[in-house]
A and B are shown apart, each in its own frame.
Chain A
Amino acid sequence: MNVPLSYYLILSAIVFTTGVVGVLIRRNIIIILLSIELMLNATNINFVAFSYYLQNIAGQVFVFFALTVAAAEVAVGLAIIIALYRTKASINVDDFQLLKW
């Protein structure tokens, strides 16, 4: 039994939207980071699904690159958050009001 392509696309659209909404409404910067990861992983679902249905390996190669970049991004992001936590003792974006948003 084959799962139709549209199922994967709907799943990835739901995951992506969850990520976007999470970035926009959550106030905890760690949760925001996780939401960004959700967005990137929604992309990976797309790439793998397309890659399977088009019988084209290029999509899976792209996923490896996307995963590597996401890992590097988390490393940089967590470092910034730790540095911020040391001076502010908070990870709530509402506390970061020194610069006008």
Chain B
Amino acid sequence: MTLPLSDIFAVLPELIVVTAACLVLALDPLTPSARKSWLAWLSLAALVACFWISASQMGVTVLAFSGLVILDPYAGFWKLLLYVVTGLTILLSLAYLKEERINLGEYYGFILLSLSGMMIMVSAADLLTIYLGIELMSMSLYVLAGFKRFEERSLEASAKYFVLGSFSSGILLYGISLLFGVAGSTRLQPIAAAVAIRGFDDPQLLIAMILLVVGFGFKVSVVPFHMWTPDVYEGAPTSVTAFMAVASKAASFGALLRVFLEGLGGLKANWYVLFLIVSVATLILGNVVAIVQTNIKRMLAYSSIAHAGYALIGMVVAGQTEAGSAVRSLGVSSVMLYLAVYAFMTLGAFTVVALLRKGGLEGEEIEDFTGLAKRQPLAALLMLVFMASLAGIPPTAGFIGKFYVFLAAVKAGLAWLAVVAVLFAAVSAYYYLRVVMVMYMRDPEPAEGPLPRLATSPALTVVLASTLGGVVLLGLFPNALVWVTSFAVLILK
């Protein structure tokens, strides 16, 4: 049996990323410890190649490996976003790993393996491949979260992430097995056909659907499945936190939309209500609990929970409207737009956190930002822009993301949901602007211990410049991104 060349062509980026990951792991022992950054440059080269290939594949729609994998513009959009995020994470890690004394080559190998899992998730057309992608992504992330293995906090985060992550995968897998019993297949198309025959009130289908909602709910960290997020985000190394918060959330949303709209589209009358409740609960809890946080990484974790709630609004719109309508496409593309914007601003905020150091210890408390504007005006200005964008203040990109999600909600006749979301966006402005207030309004105390200093490097400058550029340019000229998301939107029958 031979594989047709077109199938290989469809998964070429995945193959390159996996090969690069294996190469990094194999070359690691041969690389002198002062030269570990070579492995990072190798990974970046692989990402650039993949970006070029995926960009040239954007117009194609191929079903490969007898329906296990699909290559379409929708998958292409997520892959391009994931390459950018991963590339920036690697650049951010270059200096951060040296600073933390965890400058080990396998870090880049695990980042790439995790990326390949995410790529498989977003381009899977079968629950088997989606499950394998999720597991590949999560298992690499469990290891990465515990990468500072001499630090208790990091290990504890890793253990918690592992227990809750595999627990949720078990729930997801049980749901998949019940769906297999209904459809006799784990491909999304036969599942959709079986749903159409069995109807939307079949008990076995409903249980399977609820289990899938729970399983995916853990992965995108929405209330009430969010408990692991703050602990893991706080304990993990900051560069890994940034990667988890952005890339794994984007990939999980990509898979979530495809599974529920394509496979379980016939059940949308049921799941849209669930997602509506989850979305409102996430907006309330994420934003309110973020107010009382004193650790910036914990605060950003709750903020990332809240942002998942905003993105879910687009999902609710897609579930509530008629198939094939323009509003439905708007709902899906607003999720894609939101996560693209979210990627830049969150990555930027975490980069500033990684930048701020206090004599070997991390300047992680919000108190450490006191008077930053006097000491480090540039870093404070960057943080100001990212916080404003996270709060959704125009003319930053965060405003554009929220605008399109709310526009979709209003067009779908869910104006009340948009109003609730706007109210909680106002609540969120309180805790984002508190960071700005601390930086600008308070004078730096004549501190005893070492003052926070900046761990700058050329690579970090590139990361900050690109995230800042993304946040400002997407805010001022959103047309290109809007066009890309509407071009790449999931085609639904």
Known: A29-B163, A43-B173, A96-B160. A62 touches B128 (CB 8 A): yes
Contacts A39-B167, A77-B162, A84-B155: A16 and B174 contacting too (C-beta < 8 A)? Answer: yes
Cα distance A29–B173 in the bound complex, in angstroms: 21
Give bound CA distance, A15 to B139, whole Å.
Answer: 24
Given the complex, which residues of B lie within 8 Å of A7, measured CB to CB? Answer: none
A46 nearest in chain B by CB position: B177
A10 to B139, CA, bound (A): 30
Residue-wise interface mask of A (56-95) relative to B, using a CB-CB cutoff of 8 A (1 in contact, 0 not): 1011011001100100110011011101100110000100
Please provide the chain B residues from 147 to 188 with a CB less than 8 Å away from any CB of chain A in the complex: 149-150, 152-153, 155-160, 162-163, 166-167, 169-171, 173-174, 176-178, 180-181, 184-186
A72 to B155, CA, bound (A): 19
Q: Is the interface of A mostly helix, strand, loop or mixed?
A: helix
The answer to whether B142 and A65 touch across the interface, beta carbons within 8 angstroms, is: no
In the complex, per-residue mask of B284-301: 1 if CB is within 8 Å of any chain A CB, else 0: 000000000000000000
Chain A residue with Cβ nearest B182: A50
Q: Measured between C-beta atoms, what is the minimum distance from B133 to chain A in Å?
A: 11
A76 engages B177 (CB within 8 Å): no
The tally of CB-CB contacts under 8 A between chains A and B is 120
Among A39, A72, A79, A98, the one with the most B-chain Cβ atoms within 10 Å of its Cβ is A98
Q: A76 to chain B: which residues have CB within 8 Å? A: 139, 142-143, 162
From B159, B171, B174, B176, A84 is in contact (CB under 8 Å) with B159
Shortest CB-to-CB span from A99 to chain B, Å, is 4
Interface residues of B in 94-151 (CB under 8 A from A): 128, 131-132, 135, 139, 142-143, 146, 149-150
Do residues A43 and B227 form an inter-chain contact, with CB atoms below 8 A? no
B174 nearest in chain A by CB position: A43
Among residues 215 to 248 in chain B, which have CB atoms less than 8 Å away from a CB atom of chain A?
Answer: 227, 230-231, 234-235
- CB proximity of B156 to chain A, nearest CB, Å: 5
A37 to chain B, nearest CB (A): 9
Q: Give complex CA distance A101, B143 in Å.
A: 20
Taking CB atoms, residues of chain A closer than 8 Å to B150 are 87
Whether A66 lies near B173 (C-beta < 8 A) is yes
The count of chain A contact residues (Cβ–Cβ below 8 Å) is 43
Query: Contacts A73-B139, A76-B139 known; A59 to B159 CB distance under 8 Å?
Result: no
Cβ–Cβ contact B153 & A39, under 8 A: no
Residues of A within 8 A of B169 (CB): 73
Distance of A100 Cα from B153 Cα, bound (Å): 11
Give chain B's interface residue range (CB within 8 Å of chain A). 35 or more
CA–CA, A41 to B245, complex, Å?
30
User: Do A96 and B156 touch across chains, with their CB atoms under 8 A apart?
Assistant: yes
| A62 B156 Cβ-Cβ under 8 A | no
- Tell me if B's interface is mostly helix, strand, loop or mixed: helix
A42 to B178 CA separation, bound complex (whole angstroms): 11
* Chain A residues near B181 (CB-CB < 8 A): 9, 46, 50, 54
Closest Cβ–Cβ distance, residue B112 to chain A (whole Å): 17
Name the residue of chain B whose CB is nearest to the CB of A24.
B167
A residues near B162, Cβ cutoff 8 Å: 76-77, 80
Choose one: B163, B173, B185; the contact of A32 (CB below 8 Å). Answer: B163
| 8 Å CB contact of A83 from B132, B135, B155, B235 | B155
Chain A: CB-nearest residue to B170 = A39
Closest Cβ–Cβ distance, residue A56 to chain B (whole Å):
5
Q: Is the CB of A36 within 8 A of B139?
A: no
A43 with B170: CB separation less than 8 A: yes
Q: Are A98 and B153 in contact (CB under 8 A)?
A: yes
- Fill in one digit per residue for B179-208: 1 if any A CB lies within 8 Å of its CB, else 0: 011001110000000000000000000000
| A36 engages B166 (CB within 8 Å) | yes
Q: List B contacts of A99 (CB < 8 A).
A: 153, 156-157, 160, 230-231, 234-235
- Closest Cβ–Cβ distance, residue B109 to chain A (whole Å): 14
Q: A39 contacts B171, CB within 8 Å?
A: yes
Choice from B128, B143, B159 contacting A65 with Cβ under 8 Å: B128
A79 to chain B: which residues have CB within 8 Å? 143
Q: How far is the CA of A86 from the CA of B131 in the complex (A)?
A: 32
A87 touching B174 in the complex, CB below 8 Å, given contacts A59-B180, A65-B132, A77-B162: no
Residue of B with least CB distance to A85: B155
| Cα(A12)–Cα(B173), bound, Å | 13
Q: Across the interface, which residues of B come within 8 angstroms of A54, CB to CB?
A: 181, 184
Q: How far is the CB of B140 from chain A (nearest CB, A)?
A: 9
Determine the distance from Cα of A35 to Cα of B312 in the docked complex, in whole angstroms.
31
Q: Which B residues are within 8 Å of any A CB, using their own CB?
A: 128, 131-132, 135, 139, 142-143, 146, 149-150, 152-153, 155-160, 162-163, 166-167, 169-171, 173-174, 176-178, 180-181, 184-186, 227, 230-231, 234-235
The 5 A-B residue pairs with the shortest CB-CB distance in the complex, in nearest-first order? A39-B170, A46-B177, A99-B231, A50-B181, A43-B173
Q: Could you jot down 14 A-B contacts, CB within 8 Å?
A: A16-B174, A39-B173, A43-B177, A47-B177, A62-B177, A66-B131, A73-B139, A77-B162, A80-B158, A80-B159, A83-B158, A87-B150, A99-B153, A99-B234
